[in-house]
Amino acid sequence: MYRVVFESQHPRDKRLIIERGPWLVDRASADYWKTTFSKLLPQQFIWIELAQQDQGLHEIP
Domain count, the chain: 1
User: Which residue range is the domain that position 47 belongs to?
Assistant: 2-59
Greater confidence, 2 or 21? 2
CA 59 to chain centre: 14
Arithmetic mean of pLDDT over the chain = 83
* Residue (of 54, 51, 55, 56) closest to 24 by Cα position: 51
What is residue 54's predicted lDDT score, i.e. its pLDDT?
53
Residue type, 5: V
Strand segments (E) across the chain: 2-9, 16-20, 23-24, 45-50, 58-59
In this structure, the dihedral spanned by the alpha carbons of residues 33, 36, 37 and 43, taken in order and rounded to 10 degrees, is 140
pTM above 0.75, yes or no: no
